[in-house]
Structure 1
Amino acid sequence: MTHRGLANHVRWAADTLAARGQGGAPLFSSVAFDLVVPNLWAPLVTGQRLWLLPPDVELDQLGAELKKAAPFSFIKLTPGHLELLDPPEAFAPVVVVAGEALPGAVAEKWRGVLGDGNLVNEYGPTEASVGTSIYPVVGPQKAGVVPIGRPLPNMTMRVLDASLRPVPVGVVGELYVGGTGVARGYANRPELTAEKFLPDPWAPGARMYRTGDLARWSAEGNVEFLGRIDDQVKIRGYRVELGEIRAVLLDHPEVRDAAVIAHEQRIVAYVVGTTEVREHCERSLPEYMVPATVIAVDRIPLNANGKVDRRALPDPDQASTPDETVAPRTVAEERIADIWEELLGVRAGVHQSFFALGGHSILAVRLISRLRAEFEVTLPVRVVFERPTIAQLGEEVEARIRAEIAALSDAELLAGADKV
């Protein structure tokens, strides 16, 4: 990182953020975390105070500690920190949020406290000197993720395809950033530097940084962050974007926060709020991206820097959901559950989806074949797609058995009784 690049960002923070008051800014994360650069340097270069919170302060005490020294000129923190400051309180005239995607519901709550334009969503990798773009939150915010906006002074943003060509508005590509803030590279790692820092075709002699982030331009001219490329995982042969699933979950009016992981070829969602999200997800996501397991948590755990602490999330194999705890209740459900276990390798609850647990079209054909042999009924393959749970298939099997019995003549019934 160059002095010039860092100075460019600090100059913006001093002129735009510190200028909002005389109260300086608080420092409550490690100075090794690049998010604190404006909190640390903008007050100092403008002659304002830097308020150091105790290094051992617990995250749930953050609000009380900030209140002791408020008001500040500005505060910069993560969305996770904002969630901890509940009920929200205006500790400064402007609050900058960075480090992770900002949920629309959180932004709307804080917009109501701070007013239009005073909650600022900032985006920027360390390799671009902390900050690349901002989006001042104005007007009611939809559920989902808040845009990351437009470039800061002397910075550029481009959404490109695999051939480094700009993609049209609304089309997903990889985000590249350029400008004064782009670092020189990684110390003593020439191969990684060559991979991530590329010649900038739009600025001869300069370089641009390949962020690894998925993004798209909106019709309003803002960049929308859609998640990390390395958050893409393969589930049963399908490429899945975990960030996209989280964004859909955050669209649910009764979900306040969420985290999504891949665990043993299934998608696990952790939600703060209702766990009844399956139908909501099915409206926006293909079947293979709908979480197989949804676990309710009181709060998404954060590390010391305010980012999601994935290691602290409950073990999906130990936690259970209502769908998983409903055991078979009838003979038909018991037999279907046994067949599922042979095909999928898991013991399922009667309300879990065949496809969410790893089923696909080929396994659906095998399932129908097994059901026909087990119950001696005629079932089309489409039934698995229309009624993909053990409970629904059990109802379908029982209904078809009853229909076949009702269609028998008295003579056929008597003949069957004689065989018994």
Structure 2
Amino acid sequence: MSRSVRTPVPAASPVDGPPAGPAGVPAGGRAGLASGCWVVDGPLDPGALRVRGAGGGQEVPLTVLGPGSVGTDREEWGELIREETAAAEAEPGPGRVLLAQLDEERSLLVVVTKDTLLPAAVMRWLLTDDASFPAVGTRPEGLSRAAAGPADGQSGAAGRGPSGLPAGGDRASGYAGTVRVPAGRAAARLRSAGVPMEASLAVALAVLLVRCGSAPGTGIVVASDTPVAVTPRVAESVSGTVALRAGGHALASGVPVHPGFHAALAVSPCGVSEPERVGAYTASAVRPPDAVAHHGLMVLLEDDRLRMDYDTGLHEEGAVTTFAARLLAVLEELLDDRPVYGIVAAGAAERAAVTEWSRGAEAAVPAVCLHTLVEEHAARTPDAPAVRCGETELTYGRLDEDANRVARLLRAAGVGPGGLVALLTERAAWSVTAMLGTLKAGAAYVPIEPTYPPERVRRILDDSGAVVLLAGQEPEYAVPVPVLAGGEAAGLPGTPLGSPVTPDDLAYVIYTSGSTGTPKGIGVHHRAIVASTAARAVAGPPPGRDLVLPPLCFDGAAGGMFWALTSGGAVVLPTEHEAHDPMALRNLLESAAVTHVHAVPSHYGIVLQVAGREALGRLSMVAVGGEPLGPEIVAEHLRLCPQAPLFNDYGPTECAVWATTHRCGPAEATGAGIPIGRPVPGYQAYVLDGGLRPVPPGVPGEIWLGGPGVARGYHGRAALTAERFLPDPYRPGGRLYRTGDRGLWGQDGRLRILGRVDHQVKVRGFRIELGEVEAAVRRHPAVTECAVLLRQEGPTEQLVAFVVLGSRATVPELQGNIAESVPEQMRPHHIAIVPRLPRTPGGKVDALALRTMSVPSHTDTTDARTGMVDNRFP
């Protein structure tokens, strides 16, 4: 027999007194719900239950089940908890209470509460004679933001929760799955050492959460019947329910926690806890198996087994099993007295796998200079085609002779070994000749796009210290160095000049956007670019006729061009017209019998739209990189030219263009987040945390690159070089480059990029520091404040500048001023004049608000850049 009684109970804030063990763990995953289950010893009269509330209290349904209605099967008890939780979630009010009489002396008490009301406090109120409900406490300082949700805007309900576990779904289901792993060895070691399991697991869980990518403010809930030493950084012991910062700071004691806290640790043994005397009764907290999931993840002890209950709507069983193994691995390292900063949160098998994935195959790097490899082909096959652009075709013999003439021209102008030569790199065969001639003179070239604004050209010349500017024709503006026209070399001898240059000397210095508002030069030595081209030789078929689509000032062009020239292939350069006209480019593919294509994905995507099967039929390889590759491009490539492997390449200028690669297949044609693969031969790619420790698979970190392709550093910027280029802690004598890219290793052993750790963005493959764009906008005297970000505008991402003016100025005036100092790809697509910039409570510009802010129509009618038509190539 059962009856339902509706009685009021106050919807209280934090209550005094700790809850009783795991049954009192506050909700953390399902609508702010919490549940508790107790076996109450002593004759209990349901009608005598005193559930009186303070003034204005809300009513809570009380369900009473008579003797014999519920058995002693704990799975049945778990079903009761799930039913009560579902009912409480679906109806208003602060919760529900169920009393089931097991026999004359024992009853089962289930309490489900919402918001900030603790089940254990309600249980004690039900069973005692205290006439007053526990006083409502005040929230400790600093808790409000933590209780409002996961730190730093992270979500535990989608994507990747604070536990670092890959999400199995996008919302909490409230149903618990269970994983158990043996923990006998760790338990035995703890007992032998006399170390409390509670304190050790609390510390291990906190360390693991941080290692697994949780923000420092991620919440953990600890429920314990004994004092728990939280972490070595907290000089106090606490009892009861403790909200912890994953970094080790106690947040509060005895305070219920918002659903933003998805990790919980119940350090009392699973099952029945130590009995608690409550009034005239004895209450023993019980956690039935497979009960409702109030947290994304809960860790419990079962004798010598570690048990993890998880919300099946948030996590997958395999991921939870891996997490359990990692927790035990961390615990073992703590028992070995390993310093916390040195702990790697992965088991031996995972560590071995990550080590294998991080290193490319061993590869020998020829100890020669870049131009020497080209000279060898010129001597061997002088009549073989080397360069084609427009109507101009150069054989290897002609290319070598013309480059020797340029070297003599430079030497006569005072350029010697170690010098820098600036090149206006127009799309022309002459530009390739000038690059090789500079190298033959013992100098390094500094490529400059001819369309750059004069101010930017002058800044690059000043910063680089270039001795001369070599150009096809003299620029129309003044520059601070002598100008040499390429035609001046025509009458000079084409015999070799000879130079003492070595593989460790600079080959080129490429300038990219700088965060301080000034472009920065990246110095790449011969050994690095030779290593890059040598590694490419094992990646795919050797070049035949290699179409290089990026501008020659772009590092991606250097990689494709020199791979072809050092392998005996031919470089096919589109003219400016062909590069920007899809149909002209299609005709070039056919007339030049192109076999290889190097491009940024967006450019190659347009090629696929217009080329068709016939024009693409001769392709034997396509390599894309510089920006994210979309699945639609992979699908179209596989449809039109399945005979040609498509490689998704990754490698910044600081690593000579090429460091990892992934061959795309049908799987990449349907899913987002296409991998960048594994390191190429001779290279290393690490995903490290803030302490330079490798992170386990599936856990985000920063990508660091090593190997012979690592550049010398930033030209003339020793401090910045020391900050970004560090000794390799895993390969003595090696160096690592800190890319600033966030990434992770998938369980398939493939590297994936997640985004940036800084404010750098990419537009059509060009690296852009938002700070430099903002500095260009602020150069107008009317601008008082400015914020620039990359926003999704329709199908593309575009730069948008939000500007606050101190005096009158129009958008066209701002556009013209910006165009004087930065190249086309760095000019904002839209400029929005706003009265003020939104800011966070801390005073920083609120980027999230800017991303969702509508751009005023009067500033959004025209693309703010010039020289760019939507249906044209970059």
**Is it true that 1:12 corresponds to 2:535 in the alignment?**
yes
1:65 Cα offset (Å): 4.7
**Is it true that 1:67 corresponds to 2:589 in the alignment?**
yes
1:70 Cα offset (Å): 4.2
From 191, 206, 210, the counterpart of 2:738: 210
**Is it true that 1:44 corresponds to 2:554 in the alignment?**
no
TM-score between both structures, scaled by the size of structure 1: 0.56
TM-score between both structures, scaled by the size of structure 2: 0.28
CA distance in 1, matches of 2:850, 2:606: 36
Tell me if the contact between 1:94 and 1:114 (Cα under 8 Å) persists in the aligned partners: no
1:174 Cα offset (Å): 0.5
| SS at 2:794 equivalent | strand
CA distance in 1, matches of 2:851, 2:829: 21
Q: Which range moves more in the overlay, 92-101 or 136-145?
A: 136-145
Q: Which residue of 2 aligns with 1:147?
A: 675
Q: Which residue of 2 aligns with 1:2?
A: 525
From 751, 757, 764, the counterpart of 1:229: 757
1:211 Cα offset (Å): 0.3
Contiguous gaps of at least 5 residues in structure 2:
1-523, 762-769, 771-785, 797-822, 840-848, 854-874
Q: Which residue of 1 aligns with 2:795?
A: 272
CA gap 1:48/1:266 in 2 versus in 1, 3 angstroms: closer
**Is it true that 1:132 corresponds to 2:653 in the alignment?**
no
Residue 719 of structure 2 aligns with an amino acid whose one-letter code is E
- Normalized per residue, which structure has more helix? 1
1:81 Cα offset (Å): 0.6
Tell me if the contact between 1:51 and 1:69 (Cα under 8 Å) persists in the aligned partners: no
CA distance in 2, matches of 1:58, 1:43: 19
From 629, 633, 638, the counterpart of 1:111: 638
CA gap 1:266/1:154 in 2 versus in 1, 3 angstroms: closer
From 822, 827, 848, the counterpart of 1:311: 827
Corresponding residue pairs, total: 265
- Normalized per residue, which structure has more strand? 2
Q: Which range moves more in the overlay, 184-193 or 9-18?
A: 9-18
1:116 Cα offset (Å): 7.4
* Greater gyration radius: 2
CA distance in 2, matches of 1:128, 1:225: 17
1:27 Cα offset (Å): 3.3
CA distance in 1, matches of 2:529, 2:711: 9
Q: Which residue of 2 aligns with 1:332?
A: none
CA gap 1:178/1:58 in 2 versus in 1, 3 angstroms: closer
Q: Which residue of 2 aligns with 1:84?
A: 606
1:357 Cα offset (Å): 5.5
Tell me if the contact between 1:59 and 1:84 (Cα under 8 Å) persists in the aligned partners: no
Q: Which residue of 2 aligns with 1:192?
A: 720
Q: Which residue of 2 aligns with 1:335?
A: none
1:48 Cα offset (Å): 2.6
Tell me if the contact between 2:550 and 2:600 (Cα under 8 Å) persists in the aligned partners: no
CA distance in 2, matches of 1:98, 1:195: 26
1:151-162 map, 5 Å? 151-162=679-690
Tell me if the contact between 2:574 and 2:585 (Cα under 8 Å) persists in the aligned partners: no
From 549, 554, 562, the counterpart of 1:33: 554
1:285-313 Cα shifts (integer Å, max 9, x gaps) = xxxxxxxxxxxxxxxxxxxxxx9946353
CA distance in 2, matches of 1:165, 1:39: 34
Q: Which residue of 1 aligns with 2:625?
A: 98
Tell me if the contact between 2:548 and 2:573 (Cα under 8 Å) persists in the aligned partners: yes
1:266 Cα offset (Å): 9.3
**Is it true that 1:164 corresponds to 2:667 in the alignment?**
no
Tell me if the contact between 1:173 and 1:214 (Cα under 8 Å) persists in the aligned partners: yes
Residue 108 of structure 1 aligns with an amino acid whose one-letter code is A
CA distance in 1, matches of 2:590, 2:692: 50
Q: Which residue of 2 aligns with 1:246?
A: none
Q: Which range moves more in the overlay, 85-94 or 157-166?
A: 85-94
Contiguous gaps of at least 5 residues in structure 1:
234-241, 243-262, 274-306, 319-340, 346-353, 359-420
| SS at 2:827 equivalent | helix
1:68 Cα offset (Å): 4.1
Q: Which residue of 2 aligns with 1:123?
A: 650
CA distance in 2, matches of 1:31, 1:69: 22
1:365-414 Cα shifts (integer Å, max 9, x gaps) = xxxxxxxxxxxxxxxxxxxxxxxxxxxxxxxxxxxxxxxxxxxxxxxxxx
- How large is the RMSD of aligned CA atoms in angstroms? 3.5
CA gap 1:204/1:355 in 2 versus in 1, 3 angstroms: closer
CA distance in 2, matches of 1:181, 1:266: 31
CA gap 1:188/1:113 in 2 versus in 1, 3 angstroms: same
Tell me if the contact between 1:123 and 1:134 (Cα under 8 Å) persists in the aligned partners: yes
Residue 693 of structure 2 aligns with an amino acid whose one-letter code is R
| SS at 2:666 equivalent | coil
1:56 Cα offset (Å): 4.5
Tell me if the contact between 1:53 and 1:65 (Cα under 8 Å) persists in the aligned partners: no
Tell me if the contact between 2:578 and 2:585 (Cα under 8 Å) persists in the aligned partners: no
1:153-210 Cα shifts (integer Å, max 9, x gaps) = 0000000111111111111110000011111212221101100001101011111000
1:265 Cα offset (Å): 9.8
Tell me if the contact between 1:105 and 1:144 (Cα under 8 Å) persists in the aligned partners: no
Residue 4 of structure 1 aligns with an amino acid whose one-letter code is R
1:331-350 map, 5 Å? none
1:285-342 Cα shifts (integer Å, max 9, x gaps) = xxxxxxxxxxxxxxxxxxxxxx994635344679xxxxxxxxxxxxxxxxxxxxxx9x
CA gap 1:164/1:356 in 2 versus in 1, 3 angstroms: closer
Tell me if the contact between 1:122 and 1:133 (Cα under 8 Å) persists in the aligned partners: yes
1:102 Cα offset (Å): 0.7
Tell me if the contact between 2:560 and 2:598 (Cα under 8 Å) persists in the aligned partners: yes
CA gap 1:200/1:317 in 2 versus in 1, 3 angstroms: same
Instruction: Provide the identity percentage.
Output: 31
Residue 152 of structure 1 aligns with an amino acid whose one-letter code is V
| SS at 1:230 equivalent | coil
CA gap 1:121/1:185 in 2 versus in 1, 3 angstroms: same
1:5 Cα offset (Å): 1.8
